[in-house]
Amino acid sequence: MVKNLTRCIANMKKKKDFSPTVYKFKDAVMEKVENTDLFKSYIKTTEFKQLFTGTLWAEGPCYIPHKDMLVWSDNPNNRMMKLVNDQVSEFRNPSNFCNGNTIDNDENLISCSHGGRCIYKTDDELNVSVVVDQFDGKKFNSPNDVCVKSDNTIWFTDPPYGILSDYEGYPGEQEYGGCNVFSFNTKKNILKVITTNLDRPNGIAFSHDEKKLYIADTGENIKCMYVFDVEGDLISNQKLVYDFKPFFSDGFRCDKDGNIWTSAGKAIKCFNPQNELIGQLILPELVSNLEFGGKEGNTLYVTATSSLYAMELNQIGAKFPV
């Protein structure tokens, strides 16, 4: 632990900014989108409030209802942050380069660890355990984003971003030779490959009724979001939702009506269940991810490069009771 902490501190001292992606889009101007009347009805306030700044790459926001707490990752700084009672502090440092986060049906925190190349579970007492860390006896690449189905199976993407350099993990090899999307049945201890057809699977989320699964692909020349039909632990009928080039869709969540809200460059785009763009919200920084939270489920939390933002909506997230 001491050795890891020393390495973490050394890394924080030498890291100044996120990857060239931030510089590439620093002065980018987002396309204009005509917000529909439906989308306008969701907007309660006109501006985002900056709740915190000071991260290198804020990612993986996750709201834990019974604690009224938001947790998110500052991956390059090898730490996780928390927001409780309007106060921000460190949740875990070092975090072993955790990235995407969600909760299971018992509201344990489920995290993708680039450093551990595994999925972690953190309980209420902050005990951390490895849920799953290998496929056919070989290490995962670097689990990136995660969602949990109502049957408590854990679905996650596994691109290699955390093993390409020491910026957001530890350099390593791709041992199983692909970039899969997996599901893990915690009760039966069964890991299943969901798809191998994406170049760099990234963000992942179920629709409000779990009949659809959304997955982002952020490969070298692919910046798309796809949607699949879900039946049990199988997916089929891949369809394009949107091509985000030159930007990309990184993280997203569904609301109670089945609209999907996604990061999209220096903005958030919202699509209805028919994959039609219905609105856009502009932010001052490159957006990575978002989450619905707050006691009423109508606070939209957004992680964007160095900051955490929030906006109150007239809409609630899919996981909140109507």
pLDDT tens, position by position, 179-196: 999 999 999 999 999 999
Place 81 in a pLDDT band, splitting at 50, 70 and 90. very high
**Alpha-carbon 220 to chain mean position:** 19
What is the reported pLDDT for 20? Answer: 61
Long-range contacts for 298-301 (Cβ within 8 Å, ≥24 apart)? 298/44, 300/261, 300/268, 301/61, 301/63, 301/70, 301/72, 301/83
Question: Letter for the amino acid at 194?
Answer: I
In the predicted model, what is the mean pLDDT of residues 222-235?
Answer: 97
Distance between CA 106 and CA 113 in Å, rounded? 20
Among the CATH numbers 2.120.10.30, 2.60.40.1250, 3.90.1200.10, 3.40.190.290, which is that of 2-312? 2.120.10.30
- Average pLDDT of the chain? 93
In the predicted model, what is the mean pLDDT of residues 73-99?
Answer: 97
Place 258 in a pLDDT band, splitting at 50, 70 and 90. very high
Q: Which helix (H) or strand (E) holds 239?
A: strand 234-243
Distance between CA 235 and CA 39 in Å, rounded? 29
In the predicted model, what is the mean pLDDT of residues 217-226?
Answer: 95
SS3 162: helix
Which residues are paired to 230 by β-bridges? 235
What is the reported pLDDT for 27? Answer: 77
Of 14, 13, 97, 23, give the one whose Cα is nearest residue 60.
Answer: 97
Of 122, 318, 59, 64, give the one whose Cα is nearest residue 205.
Answer: 318
| Tens-place pLDDT, residues 269-312 | 999 999 999 999 999 999 999 999 999 999 999 999 999 999 99
Place 26 in a pLDDT band, splitting at 50, 70 and 90. confident
For residue 18, pLDDT over 70 is answered with: no
For residue 220, pLDDT over 90 is answered with: no
For residue 232, pLDDT over 80 is answered with: yes
What is the reported pLDDT for 23? Answer: 65
Q: Which of these ranges, 2-6, 95-99, 151-155, 167-171, has the smallest mean pLDDT?
A: 2-6
More confident residue, 86 or 9: 86
All structural domains of the chain with their residue ranges: 2-312
| Tens-place pLDDT, residues 38-54 | 999 999 988 999 999 99
